[in-house]
């Protein structure tokens, strides 16, 4: 592994189901989550290394997906952070961002602004990117072209950054991003995350966020390597520790055994006490395609507002555990194992009964849960919820890198 910085760790699980259509409504609701797997996140310093170690169990089911749209507003709080990275040069212009557009959910509620109002930097090398991510000065970082590293590198990012690709989407190959100690108030848009199939270990996670408040992850594509290697413990995204006020929107996660791990991956009583309530996260209008497990995610500790997503071609969808509170609404499941047996719970929900609460409203499949039914509804923001079918159609047309505008 090469290093401008070194890497974080991950988690396991996949599933999917099919969905019906309806007209859009504005509402929110909450539900109790149950237990899924156990994992541990640890952070070690090598030339700035983040590592997540996790272990967990999940059920199976396979599916294929399409999805429609929904909009949401969010309230969230921000924080600052620093990034460790090697030096390089970058072209800086002293222009200001025009402000954010299209932001929803908890990130919006926290007034997440990223690099808005700060300097604008255009980068064309990995070294320039690393340098521009350092520190907490508000900075909008524009990638002028695809960037690739021969070996895996992990770049730490600080606070108040907007990192955006071109309007067509810009690739980061073998380039992993991880939050530094003071990270927060950061925006990631129009990025294509890819990696070699040799990076399939538990800690191989392209975007790793473990602290800070106010993150918007929007119109990105996270691609795995299941076509080259069917098994692996790598994940595509981690949001845990005490990270908070996060919105994941209009993004695509595809072609991997494991998808997304959310919340501190530790089921112990002490972890529940320390990390309970983190993160508060909005997950809306995303496509999870050809993931075996963790789609839309393994969820622990925090509060998760999950609506209008497409989950396609999966073995296992939700995994809920350790105090998680999950409100699932108008999500479109397709192509999951045994998905037509709606009362069987096969492939749609892995609930071991220790989540704080789970509730589904209007998705195109039914859920058989063991955890309590939650009455939680996010009050920090409002959102417009479409029918599963409408959301699916919207998601297939609009989710992913290169399919959206810019925050700056």
Catalytic sites, residue numbers: 294
Q: Output the CA–CA distances (angstroms, integers) from residue 200 to 85, 191, 210, 229, 401, in the order listed.
A: 23, 20, 20, 9, 23
Contact of 91 with 119, CB cutoff 8 Å: no
In the sheet with 139-143, reading across from the earlier edge strand, the strands are 91-93, 119-123, 139-143, 161-164, 186-189, 213-218, 244-249, 280-284, 303-307, 325-329, 357-361
- Classify residue 93 as exposed, middle or buried by CB count within 10 Å of its CB (0-12, 13-18, 19+): exposed
Q: How far apart are alpha carbons 217 and 247 in whole angstroms? A: 6
H or E, element range at 327: strand 325-329
* CA 353 to the chain's CA centroid: 24
CB atoms within 10 A of CB 343: 9
The DSSP letter of residue 32 is: B
First to last CA, the chain: 33
Question: What is the rounded CA–CA span in Å between residue 384 and residue 406?
Answer: 21
Phi, psi of 127 (to 5 degrees): -65, -40
Report d(CA 21, CA 364) in Å as an integer: 8
CB distance 392 to 20 below 8 Å? no
Q: 105 with 284: CB under 8 angstroms?
A: yes
In this structure, the number of other CB atoms found within 10 A of the CB of residue 148 comes to 12
C-alpha 399/C-alpha 219 separation (Å) is 6
Distance of CA 396 to the CA centre of its chain: 18
The secondary structure of residue 6, as a DSSP letter, is: B
Q: Is 261 left (phi over 0), alpha (psi -120 to 50) or beta?
A: beta
């Amino acid at each position: 592994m090469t290093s401008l910085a070194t890497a974080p760790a991950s988690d396991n699980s996949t599933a999917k189901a099919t969905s019906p259509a309806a007209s859009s409504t504005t509402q929110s609701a909450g539900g109790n989550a149950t237990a899924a797997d156990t994992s541990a996140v640890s952070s070690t310093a090598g030339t700035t290394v983040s590592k997540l170690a996790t272990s967990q169990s999940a059920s199976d089911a396979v599916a294929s997906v399409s999805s429609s749209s929904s909009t949401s507003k969010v309230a969230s709080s921000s924080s600052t952070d620093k990034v460790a990275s090697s030096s390089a040069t970058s072209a800086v212009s002293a222009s200001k961002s025009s402000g954010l557009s299209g932001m929803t959910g908890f990130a919006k509620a926290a007034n997440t602004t990223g690099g808005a109002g700060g300097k604008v930097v255009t980068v064309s090398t990995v070294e320039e990117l690393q340098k521009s991510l350092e520190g907490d000065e508000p900075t909008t970082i524009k990638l002028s072209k695809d960037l690739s590293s021969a070996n895996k590198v992990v770049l730490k990012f600080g606070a108040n950054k907007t990192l955006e690709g071109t309007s067509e989407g810009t690739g980061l190959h073998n380039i992993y991003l991880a939050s530094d100690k003071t990270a927060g108030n950061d925006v990631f848009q129009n990025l294509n995350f890819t990696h070699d199939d040799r990076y399939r270990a538990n800690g191989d996670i392209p975007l790793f966020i473990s602290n800070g408040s106010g993150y918007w992850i929007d119109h990105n594509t996270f691609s795995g390597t299941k076509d080259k290697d069917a098994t692996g413990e790598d994940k595509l995204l981690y949001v845990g520790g005490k990270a908070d006020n996060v919105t994941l929107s209009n993004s695509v996660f595809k072609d991997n055994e494991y998808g997304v791990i959310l919340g501190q991956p530790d089921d112990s009583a002490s972890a529940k006490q320390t990390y309970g309530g983190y993160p508060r996260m909005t997950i809306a209008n995303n496509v999870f395609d050809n993931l075996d497990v963790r789609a839309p995610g393994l969820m622990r500790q925090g509060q998760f507002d999950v609506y209008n997503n497409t989950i396609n071609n999966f073995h296992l969808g939700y995994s809920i555990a350790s105090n998680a509170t999950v409100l699932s609404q108008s999500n479109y499941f397709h192509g999951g194992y045994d998905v037509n047996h709606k009362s069987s719970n096969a492939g749609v929900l892995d609930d071991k009964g220790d989540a704080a609460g789970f509730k589904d409203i209007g998705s195109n499949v039914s859920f058989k849960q063991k955890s309590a039914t939650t009455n939680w509804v996010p009050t920090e923001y409002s959102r417009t919820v479409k029918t599963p079918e409408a959301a699916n159609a919207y998601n297939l047309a609009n989710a992913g890198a290169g399919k959206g505008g810019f925050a700056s």
